Every structure is written in C-alpha cells, then in structure tokens.
Amino acid sequence: MERFLFVYSWLSSLTEGRFFRTGFSSLLRLSAIALTIYLIGDAIETWQKLLSADNQSAGILLPVIVQIILFVAGYMMVHLMLLRAAEIRSLYDPRYALSEIVTVLARLTGELLFVITLTVTMITALQTMGLQTGILLPELHKVLAPLLEQSSLAWIIGTGALLGFMLLVAGYLASEILEMVMKMSRNSERRL
C-alpha cells in the first residue's frame, strides 16, 4: 500500500525544493548535451563545406578562424551551463528554492548573452575586414551584409563589446537584486 501513497513524498520534494533543483539542474545538463551534439554536427557539416571542391579557391584559413571562434564560444556556453547546473543542484534553502534557482538562471542568462554577443561581434568584425564568412553562417551574412557597407570596424567592435558587457551586467544585477530581496526576507523572519 505504501507505494501507492506517493503524494506525500512528492509534496515533500516540492516543499523542500528538491524537485525544482533536480529538474532545473537536469534541464541545464540536457541543454548542454544538446548544444554539444549540435556544435559537433555543425562543425562536421562546416568542414565538409570547406573541404569541398567548390570552396578551395576561397581559401581555408579565415573560415578556420571563424570555426575556432565558434568552437571556443560553444565550449564556454556548455561549460557555463554545466557549472550553473552544479550550482543549482547544490542549493540548500527550502524556503526560497525557486528564488535561488531564478537567481542562478539570471546570472547564467547574462553570461550566455555576453558570450553570444562577443562571438557575433568577432565574426562580424571578420566580415567587415572583407573576409568571407558567408560559407559558415549564410543567414548571418545575409542579414549583416547591407549593414556592414555603412559601418566602420571600430564602431562594430566597440558596440558589440559594450552590448555584451551591458548584458552581462544586467544578468548579474538581476541576480543580485533577487539575492538582496531573499536576504531581506530572511532577516525579517529572524526578527519575528
């Protein structure tokens, strides 16, 4: 009869936050695995395009640089997700389980947006210098080509770096505000 009475243990895991910590941690780990599989598949597809007979005349050094940038950015994103998943798994306060998780996710969002923005900025900078990145990222090339004709390299790099930094600060600020609210709540509970 005990195995049919699972609601108490389920409610206990919800109340203590185990359910949410395990769920969000697992979701981040699965996302990191999915991103890794995607990046490996994309790298294989890109290398097949680069090594085809059609693209031999375009040169291979610059697309290799873009591929290295994408690899480093992908590695950083996967590593950030795994680190934050471990941090979520190790959270302990049952009263503020979701608040603590959202705090970590806000920080992760800022970090991921920072990496993505810097990656797009570096690839765009390579494209403004006349390098052919359209082989690797045709969609990005189509969107940016008209804009790049009117923009300078310094403006693109400066704006991209500033935007990335602002996104990182926004993620950390949101995280700190949530932590501050939780600390205020904990302090007010102690006084009561």
The whole-model pTM stands at 0.77
Q: What is the pLDDT of residue 15?
A: 73
Residue 111 above 60 pLDDT?
Answer: yes
SS3 content of the chain, % helix, strand, coil (to 5): 85, 0, 15
Q: Which of 161, 158, 124, 157 is nearest to 141 (CA)?
A: 124
DSSP class of residue 149?
Answer: T
Domain that holds residue 49: 14-191
32's CB contacts (< 8 A; 6+ apart) are 78, 81, 82, 85
More confident residue, 146 or 62: 62
- Asked, for residue 7, whether it belongs to a domain, the answer is no
- Asked, for residue 89, whether it belongs to a domain, the answer is yes
46's CB contacts (< 8 A; 6+ apart) are 63, 67, 135, 136
Residue 187 above 70 pLDDT?
Answer: yes
Domain count, the chain: 1
Report residue 191's pLDDT band, with 50, 70 and 90 as the boundaries. Answer: low
- What does the alpha-carbon distance between residue 180 and residue 191 come to, in Å, rounded to a whole number? 17
- Asked, for residue 3, whether it belongs to a domain, the answer is no
- Asked, for residue 6, whether it belongs to a domain, the answer is no
Q: Would you say 105 and 140 are in contact if contact means Cβ atoms under 8 Å apart?
A: no
- For the chain, the average pLDDT equals 82
More confident residue, 190 or 38: 38
- Asked, for residue 2, whether it belongs to a domain, the answer is no
Q: What is the pLDDT of residue 102?
A: 92
Q: Using N-to-C axis directions, what is the helix angle for 97-128 and 138-148, rounded to 10°?
A: 60
Q: Would you say 66 and 123 are in contact if contact means Cβ atoms under 8 Å apart?
A: yes
Tens of pLDDT along 30-48?
999 999 999 999 888 888 8
Report residue 96's pLDDT band, with 50, 70 and 90 as the boundaries. Answer: confident
- Asked, for residue 5, whether it belongs to a domain, the answer is no
Q: Which two tokens stand for residue 157?
A: 């790099």
- Asked, for residue 32, whether it belongs to a domain, the answer is yes
Report residue 152's pLDDT band, with 50, 70 and 90 as the boundaries. Answer: confident
User: Of the ranges 49-53, 105-109, 139-143, 185-189, which one carries the lowest mean pLDDT score?
Assistant: 139-143
Q: What is the pLDDT of residue 63?
A: 76
- Asked, for residue 98, whether it belongs to a domain, the answer is yes
